[in-house]
Structure 1
């Protein structure tokens, strides 16, 4: 299947990356500056995402019924009939592992572990499917990944073993969720169905953590915003973008998220922005642009 990058795919991908960065920022704010616990944050995030996506599916179905002049609506708008239990399990594992890992990891180390695991997992999958890199793509990927390491590793202390393992698990689960998303024909309904299927798992997690459950107004707001906007709507956008991306492109473009999250944290949390940060950001984003341009040029010549 050819993956020529259209303007629509580029726009959807950019919006999805902003949503992912927003998730990192909201998660950091909630779990490090409020009293909400990881289980509550995970459960509320998934619940808000499920409700938002269910609402979007229903609104779309109502518009279709009105356009067809069908008042009773032959389509039932049942979002739980889309998606899959495999994707829902991957989504839940990602969300839970992400939350518990960020109790101990700083934002930079966590982002490196998460998206490093994502890109490695998806690149391995791409190799298994026969994807190969030309010289320009290899250069772009090395520039992007090398810039990310240069930004995050030298100043980052070694992460706690358990927390680091959890974030690696979150990255693997997100890679599986992304790859499964490439097979769904209706991204919005699939995302809604996946989120709906996580709710029993979220309830079980909350029950198992009942004695540790706690939250305040700010933590509740961050969890709901993360679930409804940057998770629910953001993941639906990502599923839409995946149809126009190869596994290599989908893996590589996510390397921009730690940079975006770091910049957002600097701007919104008054963290300093150094010349080194700006230069490394240019290297990472420039490398991603290089490899995506190379892939697009390769397909345009076929």
Structure 2
């Protein structure tokens, strides 16, 4: 029961990243550039404190940190900018679909020939993702927002692939956040135009709690989950974001988006339940 509760809270924390970002950026409490900077800062401080409390060492001197920091910066910037126009649930669905399909494609290209079931599942998920991005009534009419979230998904997929061989994921993530901070400051600070007390509170909550503590909880839960279960539980993240966005933010779930979510989640479930391996989650 304790493992179930910890896993549930962790998935809710990951889904909350979309809700908090959407609330801050679309609500006019903070511009997306400032939000990304404060989120990284809060995440870096929180993860460093957790790592220090555990007696670990921050890893910042390795070559992998550069790739990790750059890909994390791409994810953070794209994620915040996307929520200027995207609903929280739709954004989470696009992010989740892009990350999982990209990682499946990377695995297929670099490791082994995918099975027919994996190809079929990935194809279904890809069709669902195209539906989510489809312009017009019931679909995603804002191409720019969808493009930013697609970029965020590619950034997180690259981040995950680059860190897959890390012996200490928490130490590596802490180092990546610390090195990511000057990158986002240099890239985004000139475009930071609006902050407020509410915006700062939402950004710190997103970076320090739902990101920093969320990642720490995930690394605690992950070793206790079977390899074929860990990727599957992550299927709940876009569903939680869709439902919570509708209930808490008044977002509409169109029939097209609901169908796209079903296709993406069912397709990925087919693909990853065959020889599935654990992955990090945004």
Return the TM-score normalized by structure 2.
Answer: 0.76
Q: How far apart are residue 121 of structure 1 and its match?
A: 2.0
What secondary structure sits across from 2:74 in the alignment?
helix
Structure 1 residue 239 displacement after superposition: 6.1
In the TM superposition, what whole-angstrom CA distance separates every residue of 1:238-277 from its partner, at most 9, and x where no partner exists?
567499869xx85x87665333211111222244668887
Structure 1 partner of 2:20:
26
1:22–1:230: 8 Å Cα contact kept in structure 2? yes
Match of 2:151 in 1: 169
1:193 aligns with 2:158: no
Contact 1:17–1:254 (Cα < 8 Å) also in 2: yes
In structure 2, the CA distance between the partners of 1:155 and 1:34, relative to structure 1 (3 Å rule), is same
Deviation (angstroms), 1:290: 4.4
Q: Post-superposition shift, 1:47?
A: 0.5
Q: CA deviation at 1:40?
A: 1.1
2:85 maps to which residue? 104
* 2:195 pairs with one of 212, 215, 225: 215
Aligned-pair RMSD on alpha carbons? Answer: 3.7
State yes or no: 1:134 paired with 2:115: yes
Aligned residue in 2 for 1:68: none
The answer (yes or no) to whether the contact 1:148–1:255 under 8 Å persists in 2 is no
2:204 to 221, 224, 239: 224
Q: Provide Cα deviations, 1:14-35, integer angstroms capped at 9, x if missing partner.
A: 6654333111111111111132
Report the structure number with the largest CA radius of gyration: 1
1:131 aligns to what SS in structure 2? coil
CA distance in 1, matches of 2:102, 2:155: 9
Asked if 2 retains the 8 angstrom alpha-carbon contact of 1:46 and 1:227, the reply is: yes
Pick from 243, 253, 270: which aligns with 1:263?
243
Residue equivalent to 1:35: 29
Which structure 2 segments of 5+ residues have no match?
277-282
Aligned position for 2:141: 158
Moved more, 175-184 or 273-282: 273-282
Cα separation, 2, equivalents of 1:59 and 1:264:
33
| Equivalent in the alignment of 2:280 | none
The one-character-per-residue Cα deviations of 1:161-181 (angstroms, maximum 9, x if unpaired) are: 4x4433222111110011112
